[in-house]
Amino acid sequence: MAEEIQLSVGDKKAQYESLIPQIKALISGEPNLVANLANVSAALKAQFDFLWVGFYLVDKEELVLGPFQGPIACTRIKKGNGVCGAAWARNEAIVVPDVDAFPGHIACSSLSRSEIVVPFYSSGEVTGVLDIDSASLNTFDELDIHYLTSIVNLFSS
């Protein structure tokens, strides 16, 4: 098991392409989901220095805070509420260029300006979401959806 990652420089695509094999090595052979989510959060935060990187896990009709890196976060989010709850309800990744323009946005941190949420699955059902917040507007795009989906697929079943 790898116990550190090598941060890369370059454009966003190059950074993801360097990081993904390292994440794969980091979580390889570790069956514990919480441990893997914790390391993925740390790796993404270290590489990109996003404001907040973490996971919410489905618990009945709510998302419950899981492993994360960054400021204190909302603990529970109802299905359909905020960006995380909307991504869960829609069963799709959501990119929000300006969180203030997203109807029903939940402001866990007033520093958050843009956000991306990517669901992950077990047996075809959403079991959680990867949530990333940026302190800048327009941080995320289709490239992020592509690579972050690849990352969550490493531990989805």
CATH at residue 97: 3.30.450.40
Q: How many other C-beta atoms lie within 10 A of the C-beta of residue 62?
A: 16
Domain that holds residue 23: 12-153
Task: Report the amino acid identity of residue 82.
Answer: G
Q: Does the residue 5 lie in any domain?
A: no
Q: Count of domains in the chain?
A: 1
Q: Give the distance between the most distant pair of CA atoms in the chain.
A: 42
Q: Does the residue 1 lie in any domain?
A: no
Q: Does the residue 53 lie in any domain?
A: yes
Query: Is residue 113 scored above 80 in pLDDT?
Result: yes
Q: Does the residue 2 lie in any domain?
A: no
- The span from the CA of 61 to the CA of 58, in Å, is 7
Q: Does the residue 22 lie in any domain?
A: yes
pLDDT digits (tens, 9 = 90+) for 74-101: 999 999 999 999 999 999 999 999 988 8
Query: Is residue 18 scored above 60 in pLDDT?
Result: yes
Q: Does the residue 128 lie in any domain?
A: yes
Across the chain, what does the average pLDDT equal?
Answer: 93
Q: Does the residue 74 lie in any domain?
A: yes
Q: Does the residue 95 lie in any domain?
A: yes
